[in-house]
Chain A
Amino acid sequence: MFEMFRYTFFVYAVLAGLAIGLTTAILSNFLVLKHQALIGDGLAHVSFAGIIVGMLFADEPIWIAIPIVIVAAVLIKWMMNSSKIRGDAAIGIVSSLSLAAGFIVISLSAGYNRSIEGLLVGSILTVDAVDIALSFVLLLAVILFMALSYQRLFSMTYDYEFAKFTKIDVRKYDLILSILTAVTIVLGVQSVGILLVSSLIVFPAISSNQLAKSFKQAVLYAVLINVFVVFFGLYFAHLLNIPSGSAIVVLHGVVFAVSIVWKAIRRSR
């Protein structure tokens, strides 16, 4: 059944997928329940522009994409906090401008010969050891941040104003969360692609929320769901010869449907 594990590229894909899946799952509830579900999608579009610019100037575009996406994430936060622009509108402004800038750069660069499709749907089967190492370093950073700040992040997620009243430095924690989200998105774009990376942030939260009986349980379920979906998504993609990113998202859709039915059955009892 698992003969594909004989191939190094498949083992790499699973490792990278699990690292990104775990990272997005941990962040998932803190973003979605703060009504920032679309931030993954928005920053993925910024990643597109960042990676294209990076490809023109460096062999490893990720090192140029990461600071660009971090600046965009901070800009979105600033627009949401300092002006009267709603969160979804701020995300829309920054992401559409970035996407437009990315295409302009492509059209002006005669020498640009990389696959746009690769960026859109991802290329998890081509990740290398450096990508995997980076993904695990990021995972460790996110786990450390959560271990040190869980109580404060939960307070901010549940009741932002009350968190401010209790003297939690909400701006500092927001900034760190934005930076970690930005880096996660850039690495996620490399593996599952622009179109699908936000699903790794949105689905774990909404599916786990149907089943969980506490916030801690919701975070735990989100992690389990993403691990299950990434692993079997890759497995079915290989088995059925379909794009891995699409398989992951469709499987997430199935898990969400099952969680809704499960909740309905539990309520009717």
Chain B
Amino acid sequence: MGKPIIEFDKVTVRYQKYEAIKDVTFTVEDGDFINIIGPNGSGKTTLIKTLIGLIKPTDGTILIEDFFANKIGYLPQKSFDNDASFPATVEEILYTGVVQSHKASRYVTKSDKAFVDQLLDKMEVKHLKKQLISSLSGGQQQRIFIIRALVSSPRILVLDEPTSALDPEFRKSFYQLLKKINLLDNMTILNVTHDLSDEFKKGSKILHIDQTLRFFGSYEEYRLKSKERGSHV
């Protein structure tokens, strides 16, 4: 069991009278791989946006261990849905991830560039560095956006439906990549997903939300409970 690094305590987010999430309490431990599931409009995206500070909770508190607070990488939903004619290269996009790791700096340094090169190499996509992002396939683009999230050397990786536009083959290799990052780099991962296939969930934790927290625990436990209730996982 890893040490607790994020604590959600009775967190509620309210938009006027509508409660997007209500009284959500859970603890994330160092090295967790958490799949966040739930139907459309259940508050999954609100939950992670609250975690990364883009949305302020109406009630409740979120505590993030000091060391980890500024070490969060984020892959927003549908990053690759940007204007198809936007003339940005892969390296230009990756440098936007550098800005957060150098708050005082306005420029991309030589060492930043070297680190980006290193990550591109590690992810086996260095040959795409000078290409326009719009010229890449969905799978390649998503790999680039993962690298952008990793450029700031995070310890926590937050992903919002990263595989929704990928075909099954890419989806499989993408999850293998995430598992590798989780296990080899001991990176804590919170992944919003609609993907219900077993192979992606084994060994992970499940956070099932539908405005309120419906379940939080291991995938195996979740499967067992679902079977008891007679519903499919």
A218 within 8 A of B: yes
Q: CA–CA, A166 to B89, complex, Å?
A: 19
Which of B36-44, B91-99, B114-122, B163-171 lies at the interface? B91-99
Asked whether, in the complex, the Cβ of A213 is within 8 Å of the Cβ of B89, the reply is yes
Q: A162-B76, A164-B54 are in contact. Are A151 and B108 (CB under 8 A)?
A: yes
How close is B177's CB to chain A, nearest CB, in angstroms? 20
Asked whether, in the complex, the Cβ of B132 is within 8 Å of the Cβ of A151, the reply is no
How close is A264's CB to chain B, nearest CB, in angstroms? 14
A154 within 8 A of B: yes
Q: CA–CA, A266 to B221, complex, Å?
A: 56
Cross-chain contact of A154 among B74, B96, B97 (Cβ < 8 A): B96
Asked whether, in the complex, the Cβ of B87 is within 8 Å of the Cβ of A213, the reply is yes
A103 within 8 A of B: no
- Chain A residues near B107 (CB-CB < 8 A): 151
B197 within 8 A of A: no
Asked whether, in the complex, the Cβ of A167 is within 8 Å of the Cβ of B103, the reply is yes
B18 within 8 A of A: no
Chain B interface mostly helix, strand, loop or mixed?
Answer: loop
B82 within 8 A of A: yes
A143 within 8 A of B: no
Asked whether, in the complex, the Cβ of B99 is within 8 Å of the Cβ of A165, the reply is no
A158 within 8 A of B: yes
Residues 61-115 of B contacting A (Cβ, < 8 Å): 74, 76, 79, 82-83, 85-89, 92-93, 95-97, 99-100, 103, 106-108
* Number of chain B residues whose Cβ lies closer than 8 Å to a Cβ of chain A: 28
- Chain A residues near B148 (CB-CB < 8 A): 162
B230 within 8 A of A: no
* Number of chain A residues whose Cβ lies closer than 8 Å to a Cβ of chain B: 27
- Chain A residues near B74 (CB-CB < 8 A): 162, 165
- Chain B residues near A115 (CB-CB < 8 A): none
Asked whether, in the complex, the Cβ of B99 is within 8 Å of the Cβ of A215, the reply is no
A265 within 8 A of B: no
Asked whether, in the complex, the Cβ of A166 is within 8 Å of the Cβ of B87, the reply is no
- Chain A residues near B152 (CB-CB < 8 A): 166
Q: CA–CA, A99 to B182, complex, Å?
A: 58
Q: CA–CA, A149 to B53, complex, Å?
A: 23
- Chain A residues near B24 (CB-CB < 8 A): none
Cross-chain contact of B106 among A149, A166, A216 (Cβ < 8 A): A149
Asked whether, in the complex, the Cβ of B106 is within 8 Å of the Cβ of A148, the reply is yes
Q: CA–CA, A225 to B197, complex, Å?
A: 52
Asked whether, in the complex, the Cβ of A154 is within 8 Å of the Cβ of B92, the reply is yes
List the 6 shortest-distance A-B pairs measured between CB atoms, nearest first: A166-B100, A155-B96, A212-B87, A218-B87, A214-B89, A215-B88
Complex A-B: 7 CB contacts under 8 Å: A151-B96, A155-B99, A158-B92, A159-B79, A165-B52, A209-B87, A216-B92
